[in-house]
Amino acid sequence: MSSVTRPRREADFARFPSSTPIVIDNGASTFRIGWAGETEPRAAFRNVVQRPRHRSTGETVSIVGDTDPALMKYFDCTRSAVRSPFDDDVVYQFEYMEYILDYGFDRLGANSEVGHPILMTECECNPSFSRARMAELLFETYGVPSIAFGIDNAFSYKYNQKLGNCGEDGLAISCEHGTCHVVPFLKGQPVLGACCRTNVGGFHITDFLRQLLSLKYPYHTANFTWEKAEELKKEHCYIALDYMSELQIFKNNKEEAEEKTRYWQLPWVPPPKEEPPSEEELARKAALKEKAGQRLREMAAAKRSQKIVELEKQLSYLEELMDQLDEADESEATAILSRSGYLSQQEIKSAISKATQSLRKAKGETNGNEEKAEVSAADKYPLVSVPDEELTPDQLKEKKKQILLKTTTEGKLRAKQKRAEEEALREKLEEQRRAENPELYLEELRARYSELSEKFEQRKRQKVNGGQTNGNHGSSGGVGRGERLNAAQKERMRLLASAAFDRGKGEDTFGMRDEDWLVYNKMSKDNDDDGNDDDESELVRIASKLQEIDPTFVSKSEAVQLTPEPPKVRPLTAEDYRIAIGIERFRCPEVLFQPGMIGIDQAGIDEMVSISLRRLMEDESVKQRLCQSILVTGGSSLFPGMIPRLESGIRQYRPYRSPLKLVRAADPIIDAWRGAAAFAASSKFAKQTFSLADYREHGENLFHRYNIVYSL
C-alpha cells in the first residue's frame, strides 16, 4: 500500500473576508472542505476517527482520517477501532463528528472561531434531528454566523447540467459509500417525494471482497485489511453485463477465465537451505552429548550409592532383630515382633533374603552360574506350615491368603506345564503330517486360518455392536444383558451368587483345598477371554507356519498395517502466497444490483429507477423525458461496465423501444463539492441560509420545511 499523505494546514485563512462561505462535502467516505468559488477543495481525508493510547505515555490521542502504519506502531490500537460518525449516510455520532470538524477547520487554517457562513452537503431526506444537532454543533462550538444544507446529488446534477451533460429534467443515480439513491429532477429541482434509496454501497462491496478472500485464503487473513481490500476493489473489480453468463465463463471456459483472473503476490521469503553440519559442528555436538551422558552417569552412580547405603542399613536392622529374637524367650519374642511390624521369624528371614539379593544387584554382584535361585515356598508363604494354635487371629487371616495364593500359583504352574507338554506333542504330530503330505498340510493350515480369522472377526463385531443380531428383539434392535453374556460370564455370576449365599453359614474355609483353584479359576475375570486368547495365539501360530511354508502369504493384521501413511506437510512455496482474484472481481460489485447476495432484502439500483418513476405522479411523456437524461454519479459509478449494465437493467422496466440515455458525471467523486462551491459563490446563496437567531426562534421545527432552491 502506498504511503499515506496527510493534508497540509493552509496559511491563507485570514485573507478571506468573513462573508466568504466555507463549503463542506460531508460524505460518508470522504470529508472535503474548501472555499466557495474555487474548483478544488483545500483538504480531503477519510471521514473516520480513531482514539488509541500512546504506548509510552499512556495518553489517549485522536487521529482523524488516514493513518500512517509507520507511526501507528507507537500506539496501542487493541481497544480503539476505527469509528465513523455515519450510519447509512446519516450522522448519528456527533462526538466523532466534532473531532472531524476540528481537524477539517484546522487544516483550512482556522484558529479558534470560524466566523464564516457554512454550506454543508447531506443525503436525501436527512432526518430533522440530525440537521438540528449539526446546526447546534456549528453554531455553539465554532461561532458560525449562518448555515445552509443541500443534497450532494443535487449539487452534482446541477454542476453537470451546467457542463451540458444532462438536461433540466432528468434522473440522478448516486452510488455512494453506504447507500444508493435515485432522485428525479423536474425544472432543475429535485422531487424528494419520488426519490428512492437502498442501503447498499461501496462499503458493502469492500467488506464482501474482504470476506470472500479471507474464506478463500484463511492462512492470509491478516493481509486482507480494509485498506488493501479497498485498493483491490478500485483496481480490479468490474460489473458484468450478464452476471450468469460471466459465471458460466469461469465455470466452463478455462482460457478466458484465466485471462480475466488477476493475481496479487504476497511477500514470501524462501526457507534457507539446510547444509550438512561441518566437522567442527559434529565434534561440538558429540562433546555436548558426552558431557550430558557423563552427568547422567554421575547421577545414576549417586543414586545407586544412596540405595546401597539404605539397603545396608535395612539389612543391619533385620539381622540385629533376628539376634534379639534368638536370645529372647517366647513372650519377649512376641512383644518384639509386634513392635517391629513383622508376624514371624520366617517373614523376617524372607525380608533378609530379599534385601540381600537387592544389595547384591545394586552392587553388581552375580552368582558364578549366572542363575537366580527362586525363593522357596517356605520363604514365600511362611505361615502355611505353622500350626493354627501358634498363630494370632491376624496371622490366621494372613495364613488363609497365603494358602489361596500358593494353591493358585501351583495350579497355574501345573496348567502351564501341561500346556507345554501338549504343545510339544502337537508340534511333533504336525511335523509328521507335513512330512507325509505337504500339500494337504498346507491346505489344512489355510482352512484353519480362515476359520479362526472369521471367528475372531465375528467376536470383535459382537463386542463393538454390543451383541446385536438381526433377529426380532423389539423395534430398537437391542438385546438384554442376559443375551450379551457368554457362557463363562454366566458361570462366574452363578458362582459369585452361590458364594454370597453361603457366606456366614460357618467358618470360611475357601482356599484350604486344591480343588478350590478350579472354582477360583472359573470365578476370575481374567478367565473370561481364555478361549479368545487361545484362539488368538493359535491364529498367530498358524500364520507363522504359513509364512514359513508359503513366502507369499500375508496375514490380515499385516495387511491392515500396510495402509499408506498420510502425506507429509510440504514446505510453503511462492505459489501459496499468490492470491488469485477471479470470480470475486464481478461478484462483489454485483451486490449493487442484487443486494440479497449479502442478506439485504432491498431493490437493486436498476429496479430503483422503476420505483422512483412510479412514485412520480406524472404522465408517460414526462417519464420518457426524464429517462433521456440520467446522470450516474458517486464513487461506485466508476466501476467498468456500470453504464451498460444499468442501461440493460433499466430497459427491462421500461416500455419497448422507450428512449433511454445514461451518462456518467464528469468527475463522480468531486462534482458534488464543485457544484456546492459554485452555488455558495452565487448571489442567491445568502437567501438560502438560516442564522443562529432563526434556529433559536423556531428550533427543530425549522428543518421540517427547510429546503433550498438549487440554481447556478
Predicted confidence (pLDDT) per residue in 62-102, tens digit:
889 888 777 888 888 877 888 999 988 899 999 999 999 99
d(CA 642, CA 662) in angstroms, rounded, equals: 10
- What is the distance between the alpha carbons of residues 107 and 104, in angstroms, rounded to a whole number? 5
Given a cut of 70, whether residue 148 has pLDDT beyond it is yes
Three-state DSSP at 34 gives: strand
Residue 305 located in a structural domain: yes
Whether residue 701 contacts residue 132, with contact meaning beta carbons closer than 8 Å, is answered with: no
pLDDT at 61 over 80: yes
The residue among 424 and 48 whose pLDDT is bigger is 48
pLDDT given for residue 71 in this prediction: 80
60 vs 508, residue with greater confidence: 60
Proportion of the chain above pLDDT 70, given as a percent: 85
Query: Of 348, 363, 378, which residue is a domain's last?
Result: 363
Q: Do 294 and 354 lie in a common domain?
A: yes
Residue 40 lies in a domain: yes
Q: Let me know whether 41 and 94 are in one domain.
A: yes
Residue 2 lies in a domain: no
Condensed to tens digits (0 to 9), the pLDDT of residues 560-606 reads 554 566 666 777 788 889 999 999 999 999 999 999 999 999 999 99
What are the Cα distances from residue 620, in Å, to 31, 57, 522, 626, 653?
39, 68, 102, 10, 13
- Note whether 635 and 673 are same-domain residues: no
Q: Which grid coordinates belong to 155?
A: 449539487
**CATH number, domain containing residue 685:** 3.30.420.40
Mean pLDDT of the 237-257 span: 92
Q: Identify whether residues 24 and 109 lie together within a single domain.
A: yes
Alpha-carbon dihedral sign for residues 133, 134, 139, 142: positive
| Residue 653 clears pLDDT 60, i.e. is over it | yes
Closest CA to 376 of 349, 340, 401, 396: 349
Nearest-angstrom CA–CA distance, 375 and 564 = 50
pLDDT for 478? 42
172-215 pLDDT per residue, tens: 999 999 999 999 999 999 999 999 999 999 999 999 999 999 99
Among the residue ranges 141-145, 408-412, 470-474, 503-507, the one predicted with the least confidence is: 470-474
Question: Is residue 269 one of the residues assigned to a domain?
Answer: no
Residue 449 has pLDDT above 70, yes or no: yes
pLDDT tens column, 334-385: 888 788 877 777 788 888 888 888 888 888 775 544 444 444 555 567 777 7
Rounded Cα distance, 638 and 430, in Å: 91
Q: Provide the CATH number for the domain around residue 614.
A: 3.90.640.10
* Same domain flag for 302 and 339: yes
CA distance 429 to 505: 51
Question: Taking a C-beta distance cutoff of 8 angstroms, is the pair 215, 587 a contact?
Answer: no
Q: Are residues 111 and 238 in the same domain?
A: no
What b/e string do you get for 534-545 counting C-beta neighbours within 10 Å, with b at 16 or more? ebeeebebbbeb
Could you tell me if 336 and 286 lie in one domain? yes
Q: Does residue 354 share a domain with residue 249?
A: no
CA 2 to chain centre: 31
Contact 182, 195 (CB under 8 A): yes
Same domain, 298 and 348: yes
Query: SS3 for 174?
Result: strand
Confidence of residue 315 (pLDDT cuts 50, 70, 90): confident
The tally of domains found in the chain comes to 3
On whether residue 309 sits in a domain, the answer given is yes
Answer whether residue 578 is part of any domain: no
In the block, which residue shows the cell 554421575?
A: 298
Is residue 123 domain-resident? Answer: yes
Same domain, 218 and 324: no
pLDDT of residue 461: 73
Residue 482: predicted pLDDT: 43
Percent of the chain with pLDDT over 90: 45
Q: Which domain holds residue 679?
A: 13-48+84-156+668-705
> Which of 363, 382, 414 finishes a domain?
363
In a shared domain, residues 23 and 151: yes
Q: Are residues 152 and 210 in the same domain?
A: no
